[in-house]
Amino acid sequence: MSLVLSANADDGHNLWLRPVKAKPVKVIGANAKSAMMTIAKKEVEQRWLGDENATVEFRIVKDPTVKADGFKITGNAISATSESGILYGAYELLRRQQTGDLSNVISNPSYKIRILNHWDNLNGSIERGYAGNSIFWRNGDNTVTDKDKQIWEEYARANASIGINATVLNNVNASALILDAGHLDRLKAIAAVLRPYGIKTYLSINFASPIGLGKLPNADPLNPEVVKWWKEKVAEIYKLVPDFGGFLVKANSEGQPGPQDYKRTHVDGANMLADALKPYNGIVMWRAFVYNASEKDRAKQAYLEFMPFDGQFRDNVIIQVKNGPIDFQPREPFSPLFGALKKTPIMPELQVTQEYLGHSEQLVFLATLWEEMFKSDTYQEGKNSTVARVTDGSIFPQKYTAIAGVSNVGLDTNWNGHEFAQANWYAYGRMAWNNQLDSKTIADEWIKLTFAPADADKDWKSGFLDPVKKMMLESREAAVDYSMPLGLHHIFAGSHHYGPGPWWAPPGTRKDWTPPYYHQADANGIGFDRTKKGTDAVSQYHEPLASQFNDVATTPEMYLLYFHHLSWDYKMKDGKTLWDDLCSHWDSGVKQVRQFQVVWDKVEPYVDVQRFSRVQEKLRRQTRDAQFWKDACILYFQQFSKRPIPDYVERPINNLNYYMTTDPLSMKPVQQRR
């Protein structure tokens, strides 16, 4: 048994970089003294699948069509203006060989800084991490072991292979201790391992560090003592890590300290840090994820707070904006800040870890979500002002362009908890490199790299590649359907955000943290009225979107209840009532996941046993939990709609009380009705 297993087993640790049977190849033009070129050369030698005994040439050239990090592949020659370009070109050439694309290419990255944000705490846990503990921090134990270095190197290599060139090593809810001597020493050790792979390190900082660490009486950004403290701290960091990237800051958000504690503004706070970093070419990534409980509509707040400051930030500040106005929901419209801040660079923030999309329990391929965002037209500078183009420098001249993804990496053997969560890490990197890439291409590449046998043939394509690709491409819409269709959002069970909790509103909880605030269900109907008659969030969008979203007849149905409060009998485009249509969506989402189980069972002959059974097990759970979503939502909202469940919808398998008293993550009873 164990022999069979080991002959046909894959623990997932190699990600999309599984070893291949390389053919002999000679690499010329590589600078033997450079650590980065040594890596590029080694990769080509270990993974070459082209002609036997071919010669691959690395050329550093002057070429105005090739930007920093970009490259040209012509036959077996890779030319670039920098060593990092050669490295990325090498990975691209190898990927092309493996996926069967032998065409020449010239490729430049969409964003200069392509960064992963780790929400890793210094005690080793990871906020919203579902794949084990932190690869970077071990609860104050800052000794660096060989095993640490090995993991960091594997991590760096995986990132470099998809073009990621930056990483924030700790949680945005940052501890001041990240800047103490012990943690900075560890930063130095991590940076040393990541550097040859072209990856710069950054840190999240706690705005009150001068108090917590520096023992100053306050952290007022206009206090000269505070300014001095930061300058000295920054100097200390650069002494250890001369190519340090800069700071990520979550300020005056969800209880974090910030300049507003001293009646100063985001500009005061960000510029003070920017000035300290400037002499070293460091940057500040200042988050726009701000909202407070007193406002009527959380969706409007980032725009309201940041628009007045446009043009006032230093040129080494970038405002980091989540893809949607609320919070990484399965579906939201894009943030109205994209394209609206015209004199301030914005970097989109995506969530690779699946906080609101089934953790690492559910198969949900996020590339389609991100593609939807990139392709959304903001109309800010006329037609074709897509989110991609207003953030990547195509429309606004920007010194820095950047994009961030909240990482799903942990110490689990397969890095991401779910085999298919690896696809989200991969997709994020590929889209950060090229924001015009479509999800289908990325899924195709990833499946080939991750699962194809060396002798993949037509049979493999029709038996494995095609059905698995289809499943991945449908998976996000399926998740939207069984959880929050038609523009519903944030109706999660409290705190862990795994299953449904549309009823969740414990006394004393901030209203804007409770689902009833978002769904607004009552006897008359459901949905959040953000039209001009409601909170007027629609007016934060540029025309024609403002009018389009304001009018229920022209609002895309996928955003319907995000912008409108509608009666249960509202007639949908297909003639169904809103209530019936909602039920249909919940139901079809569940049916689709059941179908994913069938797809996966059918591909069994093509997958190693280990990965096959792990995914099979996860899909079982996903089906159970999708049903939990559907049943709980139908039964809960039915109390308001007072309408029957349509005939064609499968009946709930438990009563409402069961769903309200069972925790959807642990499936254990909860003491109180949540």
The answer to whether the CB of 284 falls within 8 A of the CB of 249 is yes
Please select the residue that binds ligand BDP; options are 43, 83, 92, 327, rule is CB under 6 A: 327
Closest CA relative to residue 440, chosen from 136, 139, 99 = 99
Check the CA dihedral 389-391-393-396 and report its sign: positive
To the query of whether residue 153 is one of the catalytic residues in this protein, the response is no
The footprint of ligand BDP on residues 337-396 (CB under 6 A) is 355
Catalytic residue among 243, 254, 466, 601: 254
Closest CA relative to residue 484, chosen from 449, 450, 458, 521 = 521
Please select the residue that binds ligand BDP; options are 125, 173, 441, 597, rule is CB under 6 A: 173
Please select the residue that binds ligand BDP; options are 95, 114, 118, 128, rule is CB under 6 A: 128
Q: Smallest gap, in angstroms, from Cβ of residue 328 to ligand BDP?
A: 6
To the query of whether residue 254 is one of the catalytic residues in this protein, the response is yes
Catalytic residue among 69, 120, 349, 355: 355
Closest CA relative to residue 527, chosen from 493, 558, 548 = 558
Q: Smallest gap, in angstroms, from Cβ of residue 532 to ligand BDP?
A: 28
| The two structure tokens encoding residue 228 | 């001095």
Q: Applying CB under 6 A, does 332 fall inside the site for ligand BDP?
A: no
Catalytic residue among 43, 268, 327, 474: 327
Closest CA relative to residue 628, chosen from 649, 654, 598, 593 = 654
Q: Applying CB under 6 A, does 512 fall inside the site for ligand BDP?
A: no
Closest CA relative to residue 654, chosen from 632, 636, 638 = 632
To the query of whether residue 650 is one of the catalytic residues in this protein, the response is no
As a whole number of angstroms, the distance between CA 302 and CA 286 comes to 12
Q: Which is nearer to ligand BDP, 127 or 185 (CB)?
A: 127
Using CB under 6 A as the binding criterion, the count of chain residues that bind ligand BDP stands at 10
Residue appearing with tokens 């024609």? 544
Cα dihedral angle (410, 413, 416, 422), rounded to 10 degrees?
140
Please select the residue that binds ligand BDP; options are 45, 63, 127, 608, rule is CB under 6 A: 127
Cα dihedral angle (649, 654, 660, 664), rounded to 10 degrees?
-80
Please select the residue that binds ligand BDP; options are 155, 229, 309, 328, rule is CB under 6 A: 328
Please select the residue that binds ligand BDP; options are 250, 298, 418, 565, rule is CB under 6 A: 250
Return the DSSP state at 527: S
**What residues does 350 pair with on adjacent strands?**
405
Q: Which is nearer to ligand BDP, 327 or 474 (CB)?
A: 327
The footprint of ligand BDP on residues 270-289 (CB under 6 A) is 289
Q: Applying CB under 6 A, does 172 fall inside the site for ligand BDP?
A: yes
Closest CA relative to residue 274, chosen from 319, 337, 211 = 319
Q: Find the distance separating the first CA and the last CA of the chain, reported in whole Å.
A: 46
As a whole number of angstroms, the distance between CA 116 and CA 283 comes to 15
Q: Which is nearer to ligand BDP, 50 or 324 (CB)?
A: 324
The footprint of ligand BDP on residues 514-573 (CB under 6 A) is none
Q: Smallest gap, in angstroms, from Cβ of residue 551 to ligand BDP?
A: 31
Q: Which is nearer to ligand BDP, 73 or 126 (CB)?
A: 126
Phi and psi angles of residue 662, each rounded to the nearest 5 degrees, phi first = -120, 130
Q: Smallest gap, in angstroms, from Cβ of residue 289 to ligand BDP?
A: 5
Positions that interact with ligand BDP (CB under 6 A): 127-128, 172-173, 250, 254, 289, 327-328, 355
Active site residues: 254, 327, 355
